[in-house]
Amino acid sequence: MEQPNIFDYATSELSQDAFICYLLEFGKEKYKDTFPNEYAIAHLFLEKSGLTLTEEISEIKQQYHGIDILVITPNFLLIIEDKTNTSEHSDQIIRYVKTLKKDNLSKDRKIKVCYLKTSDYVRGYISSNTTILPQEDCTPINRQKFMKILSYKKTNNLILQSFYLRLKSMNELAKSCNTKDIFNWNKEKWFEYLLSQFTQYEKYYDIAWVNNPKGGFYGCWFDFQSIGKVDIYKQIEIYFSGNKTSDIKLCKKLLSSNRDETIKNKELITKLQNQMRDKGYTPSNRTGKTTTYAYKRVTCLNDILQFIQEK
C-alpha cells in the first residue's frame, strides 16, 4: 500500500547518519532474539564493512572526534564515513584514523573504515597514506550494495522499509531517463552512464560533484598525460537546473603546480588551442592551477563517446 516516506523529506547526511545508527543499534546482543531479522541485517552491514559477521556491537557514537559514525566492538573500531552528494576531502579519513590511534579506545582494537555513499556511485575510497591506513582496511558500500544489505531479511520495520524504498526510488529515477533526450537526464542517470563508460577504462579516472559559486557540476576527469612540468587531461562537465541537465561541456585541461607555472607554458597552451580549434573546440584563456584551454558543448551522446575515445 502506497504511503508517505519520511526519507523523501529527511534527505540530509545527518538524517542518513541517524538511520545507520538506528539500524546498527539492532546489532547489539540484547536484540538478537527479539528482533532477529534486524539483528541479522545489522551484522551483515558489519561484515560488508570488513568486520567478522559474529562481531558484537558494544557502542555506537556520532560525531566522535568529528567522525560521522564510530562503531565500537571488542576487536574493532569501525569508522563509517557517510556521504550522499559530497565526497571525501582534506584527508579527513586519515585525520580520523590518526586521532583514533591516540585514543584509549584503540587499545587492542583494529581500525576499519566503511566509505558509504548512497546518492551516486562510489568507486571506493583510496587511502592517501597506506602507512596510517592500509588500503585493505577500507571498504566501499554504494547504493546497490546497501539495498542488498537492507533486503537481506524480510522485516515489518517501517523505518527500514522506508529507507530501502527511498534508495529504490533513486534507481528508478535513473531508469526513467532511458528513453529521454540527454538534456532531460537527471543526476542519477548521468552517474550510471558515466560509470558504465569508464568501468573498463584502463587509465586513472574519477567522477565527483564539484562545488563552485555558480552551483557546481558533475565532473569526470581522465586521460592524464605529462608534458614537461604540467599534465594535460580531459574533463566532462555536466550542469543542472534542479535535477535536469542544463549544459554539458567537454574540456581540455592543463594541470600545473601553481598559476605561475601555467603562465610559463603559454606557448604550449597556444599550440594546444590551435590543435583543438581544428576539431571544433573554443579556446579559453583563463589561467590557474587547473586551466581549461579549450572546450566545446555537447549536442548529443555521440559527442561524449567520441571525446572519451579520441586521442
Q: What confidence category does residue 1 fall into, taking pLDDT thresholds of 50, 70 and 90? A: low
Q: What confidence category does residue 120 fall into, taking pLDDT thresholds of 50, 70 and 90? A: low
**What are the pLDDT digits (tens) for 57-87?**
999 999 999 999 999 999 999 999 988 867 7
Residue 16 has pLDDT above 70, yes or no: yes
Q: Is residue 175 part of a domain?
A: no
Both 11 and 135 in a single domain? yes
DSSP code string of 42-84? HHHHHHHTTS-TTPPP-EEEEEETTEEEEEE-SSEEEEEEEES
Q: Is residue 261 part of a domain?
A: yes
pLDDT at position 200 is 66
Both 300 and 265 in a single domain? yes
What number is the average pLDDT over the span 148-166? 96
Instruction: Tell me which residue range forms the domain holding 222.
Output: 182-309
pLDDT at position 122 is 54
User: Which range, of 179-193, 231-245, 248-262, averages the lowest pLDDT?
Assistant: 179-193
Both 118 and 239 in a single domain? no
User: Which range, of 47-61, 181-195, 218-232, averages the lowest pLDDT?
Assistant: 181-195
**What are the pLDDT digits (tens) for 123-148?**
567 888 999 999 999 998 988 899 99
pLDDT at position 51 is 96
Q: Is residue 1 part of a domain?
A: no
CA-to-CA dists, residue 142 to 121, 193, 223, angstroms: 6, 16, 25
Residue 32 has pLDDT above 60, yes or no: yes
Both 109 and 242 in a single domain? no
Domain end position, chosen among 148, 170, 192? 170
Q: Is residue 106 part of a domain?
A: yes
Both 202 and 87 in a single domain? no
Cell numbers describing residue 298: 555537447
The residue written with cell numbers 534486524 in the block is 38
**What are the pLDDT digits (tens) for 198-222?**
766 667 788 877 888 878 888 899 9
Both 160 and 73 in a single domain? yes
Q: Is residue 227 part of a domain?
A: yes
Both 162 and 191 in a single domain? no
Both 151 and 191 in a single domain? no
Q: Is residue 177 part of a domain?
A: no
Both 68 and 193 in a single domain? no
Q: Is residue 237 part of a domain?
A: yes
pLDDT at position 209 is 79
Both 231 and 160 in a single domain? no
Report d(CA 205, CA 142) in Å as an integer: 18
Mean pLDDT of the chain: 90
pLDDT at position 201 is 67
140 CB-near residues (< 8 Å, 6+ apart)? 114, 115, 116, 117, 122, 123, 124, 125
**What are the pLDDT digits (tens) for 293-310?**
999 999 899 999 899 888
Amino acid sitting at position 279:
K
**How many structural domains is the chain composed of?**
2
What number is the average pLDDT over the span 15-31? 97
User: Which range, of 3-17, 80-94, 188-202, 290-304, averages the lowest pLDDT?
Assistant: 188-202
Both 163 and 209 in a single domain? no
Both 213 and 295 in a single domain? yes
